């Protein structure tokens, strides 16, 4: 028998500034690293970028009206740091800050709780140029100052704050796989940047508490359980390695201020361990979050990997099924196909049971409430002649995943809410506009970019009903 969803469960949806706003250089906004990176030929799918995105900056009222029509209880969005501080520090750009002020007021006026992400990958180019962004300890102070501006301005109106979105992704894609800016492939630099990000995260959380900001704060982490391909003990060990490497390494530090020993030891052997200075551990331990934000898309299945020197895999950024190559880490694990799971056209496993397992693992390891800050299905959608979108595949996906959440609640996991990815269609960082996630279709194909008309998909109505009934239907 399933327990009901809590009464105040946040049925929400999500986005990120660079992926929806557009207006990349309007009203005093400075460039972010993404604004620059997409201008380097070959860095993104078909040279698409977020210059206009879905023009949420100018159409936020129309978008919020759609959210209200759907009955959303929460909307997660991110603040573009370089809109508020054009070079990352110094003078505030009041016009940029005012945009978020207006958006927050608009949401509240429609009974939608704002869930605010401080950082969703768009570090100001000014900080990258000045000192290499996350690679310098200066980022700790600058991120904290930026965060404090937002805490003070929006205190009392925002009750859920997300510090860093998917640190595991922006660090590994930025400094190892080179898919994201700054496009580096150097593990020593990667683990140093990561350590600075951990310190910045903890410092911002400390600042939040010092200022007496109301509400709850935590990071959003991209998590999926790591399975063993079979019960061979070496494969079980590989799955444990993968869980420690892909998950515990990142989340333990948030909660306990310490890296898991086995992985830290492995990093030391590679010569990649970050330098931990006096005072770091104290700061990290003080920065414990109130909740764990979880972005869940897929699981990974692993086998023993004795090979040395295997290169990195290749992501499917085209939507051509079967084009990704997953490799793993020599000595720790290698990634395998899971024979029980279907995949999307972008080769991501569809695994609602994995969500239940993941929520259970996080809840029992960290004893924190969980807010799902992203989960959804990226697929091709098509607009019919009657301007409808029959995305029953997305309804099916979301129904199964919301049932998995309900099962986790029944298992005793404290769940704060479910923010699906995404509300409107938006830019996928590496896949352009063809990989769609939204409840609201944004038409870029038939109209010119300036039109960007919104159409409600079938999934829009399905979620509307789910919210109304406070549970999957």
Question: Which residue, 108, 221, 90, is CA-closest to 168?
Answer: 221
HEC readout, the chain:
CCCCCCCCCEEEEECCHHHHCCCCCCCCCCCEHHHHHCCCCCCCHHHCCCCCCCCHHHHHHHHHHHHHHHCCCEEEEECCHHHHCCCCCCCCCHHHHHHHHHHHHHHHHCCCEEEEEEECCCCEHHHHHHHCHHHCCHHHHHHHHHHHHHHHHHECCECEEEEEECHHHHHHHHHCCCCCCCCCCCHHHHHHHHHHHHHHHHHHHHHHHHCCCCCEEEEEEECCCEEECCCCHHHHHHHHHHHHHHHHHHHHHHHHCCCCHHHHHHHHHHCCCCCCCCCHHHHHHHCCCCCEEEECCCCEEEECCCCCCCCCCECCCCCCCCCCECCEECCCEEEECCCCCCECCCCCECCHHHHHHHHHHHHHHHCCCEEEEECCCCECCCCCCCCCCCCHHHHHHHHHHHHHHHHHHHCCCCEEEEEEECCECCCECCCECCCECCCEEECCCCCCCCCCCEEECHHHHHHHHHHHHCCCC
Backbone dihedral angles phi then psi of residue 261, each to the nearest 5 degrees: -60, -45
Q: How remote is the C-alpha of 12 from its chain's centroid?
A: 14
Tokens representing 14?
């999500």
Is 175 one of the binding residues for ligand BGP (CB under 6 A)? no
Contact code string over 238-257 relative to ligand BGP, x by CB under 6 A = --------------------
Binding residue (CB under 6 A) for ligand BGP from 435, 444, 456, 457: 435
Binding residue (CB under 6 A) for ligand BGP from 125, 295, 302, 344: 295
Nearer to ligand BGP, 301 or 434 (CB): 434
Nearer to ligand BGP, 287 or 438 (CB): 438
Nearer to ligand BGP, 347 or 407 (CB): 347
Q: How far is the CB of 13 from ligand BGP (least distance, A)?
A: 12
Q: Are 22 and 52 in contact (CB under 8 A)?
A: yes
Is 169 one of the binding residues for ligand BGP (CB under 6 A)? yes
Nearer to ligand BGP, 5 or 433 (CB): 433
Is 407 one of the binding residues for ligand BGP (CB under 6 A)? no
Give the residue closest to ligand BGP by C-beta: 428
Is 21 one of the binding residues for ligand BGP (CB under 6 A)? no
Nearer to ligand BGP, 160 or 207 (CB): 160
Binding residue (CB under 6 A) for ligand BGP from 9, 13, 16, 180: 16
Is 52 one of the binding residues for ligand BGP (CB under 6 A)? no
Binding residue (CB under 6 A) for ligand BGP from 428, 434, 459, 466: 428
Helices 187-210 & 249-256, crossing angle to 10 degrees? 30
Is 421 one of the binding residues for ligand BGP (CB under 6 A)? yes
Q: Which of these segments, 83-91, 165-173, 233-241, 331-339, binds ligand BGP (CB under 6 A)? A: 165-173
Nearer to ligand BGP, 34 or 249 (CB): 34
In whole angstroms, what is the distance from residue 64 CA to residue 270 CA?
Answer: 49
Q: How far is the CB of 183 from ligand BGP (least distance, A)?
A: 17
Nearer to ligand BGP, 144 or 375 (CB): 375
Is 50 one of the binding residues for ligand BGP (CB under 6 A)? no
Binding residue (CB under 6 A) for ligand BGP from 13, 32, 70, 165: 165
Among residue numbers 376 through 395, which ones bind ligand BGP (CB under 6 A)? 378
Is 347 one of the binding residues for ligand BGP (CB under 6 A)? no
- Count of residues touching ligand BGP (by CB under 6 A): 15
Nearer to ligand BGP, 5 or 439 (CB): 439
Question: Which of 282, 374, 379, 445 is the catalytic position?
Answer: 374
Is 374 one of the binding residues for ligand BGP (CB under 6 A)? yes
Q: Which of these segments, 198-206, 259-267, 421-429, 463-471, binds ligand BGP (CB under 6 A)? A: 421-429
Is position 243 annotated as part of the catalytic site? no
Is 166 one of the binding residues for ligand BGP (CB under 6 A)? yes
Is 32 one of the binding residues for ligand BGP (CB under 6 A)? no
Q: How far is the CB of 111 from ligand BGP (least distance, A)?
A: 26
Contact code string over 206-235 relative to ligand BGP, x by CB under 6 A = ----------------x-------------
CA distances from 469 to 34, 71, 404, 430, 466 (A): 40, 11, 17, 36, 5
Query: What is the binding site for ligand BGP (CB under 6 A)?
Result: 16, 19, 165-166, 169, 222, 295, 374, 378, 421, 428-431, 435
**Active site residue ranges:** 374
């Amino acid at each position: 028998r399933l327990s009901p969803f809590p009464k105040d469960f946040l049925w929400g949806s999500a986005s990120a500034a660079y992926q929806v706003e557009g207006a990349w250089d309007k009203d005093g906004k400075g460039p972010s690293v993404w604004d620059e990176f997409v201008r380097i030929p070959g860095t993104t799918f078909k040279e698409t970028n977020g210059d206009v995105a879905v023009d949420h900056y100018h159409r936020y009222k129309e978008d919020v009206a759609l959210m209200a029509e759907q009955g959303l209880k929460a909307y997660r969005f991110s603040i573009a740091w370089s809109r508020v501080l054009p070079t990352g520090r110094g003078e505030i750009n009041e016009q940029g800050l005012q945009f978020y002020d207006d958006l927050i007021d608009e949401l509240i006026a429609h009974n939608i709780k704002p869930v605010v992400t401080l950082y969703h990958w768009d570090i100001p180019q000014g900080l990258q140029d000045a000192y290499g962004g996350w690679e310098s300890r200066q980022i700790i102070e600058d991120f904290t100052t930026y965060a404090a501006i937002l805490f003070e301005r929006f205190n009392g109106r925002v009750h859920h704050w997300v510090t860093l979105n998917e640190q595991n992704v922006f660090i590994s894609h930025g400094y190892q796989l080179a898919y994201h800016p700054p496009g580096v492939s150097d593990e020593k630099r990667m683990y140093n940047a990561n350590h600075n990000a951990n310190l910045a995260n903890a410092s911002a959380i400390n600042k939040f508490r010092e200022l007496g900001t109301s509400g709850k704060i935590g990071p959003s982490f991209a998590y999926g359980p790591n399975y063993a391909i079979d019960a061979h003990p070496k494969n079980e060990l590989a799955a444990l390695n993968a869980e420690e490497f892909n998950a515990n390494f990142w989340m333990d530090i948030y909660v306990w201020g310490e890296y898991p020993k086995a992985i830290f030891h492995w990093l030391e052997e590679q010569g990649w361990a970050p330098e931990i200075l006096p005072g770091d551990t104290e700061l990290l331990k003080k920065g414990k979050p109130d909740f764990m934000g979880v972005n869940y898309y897929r699981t990974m299945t692993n086998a023993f990997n004795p090979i040395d020197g295997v290169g990195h895999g290749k992501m499917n950024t085209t939507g051509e099924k079967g084009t990704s190559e997953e490799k793993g880490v020599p000595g720790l694990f290698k990634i395998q196909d899971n024979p029980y799971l279907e995949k999307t056209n972008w080769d991501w496993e569809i695994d609602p049971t994995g969500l239940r397992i993941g929520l259970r693992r996080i809840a029992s390891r960290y004893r924190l409430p969980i807010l799902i800050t992203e989960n959804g299905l990226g697929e091709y959608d098509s607009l019919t002649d009657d301007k409808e979108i029959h995305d029953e595949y997305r309804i099916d996906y979301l129904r199964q995943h919301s049932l998995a959440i309900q099962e986790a609640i029944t298992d005793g996991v404290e769940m704060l809410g479910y923010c699906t990815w995404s509300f409107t269609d938006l830019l996928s960082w590496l896949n352009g506009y063809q990989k769609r996630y939204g409840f609201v279709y944004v038409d870029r194909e038939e109209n010119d970019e300036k039109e960007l008309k919104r159409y409600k998909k079938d999934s829009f109505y399905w979620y509307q009903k789910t919210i109304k009934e406070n549970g999957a239907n």
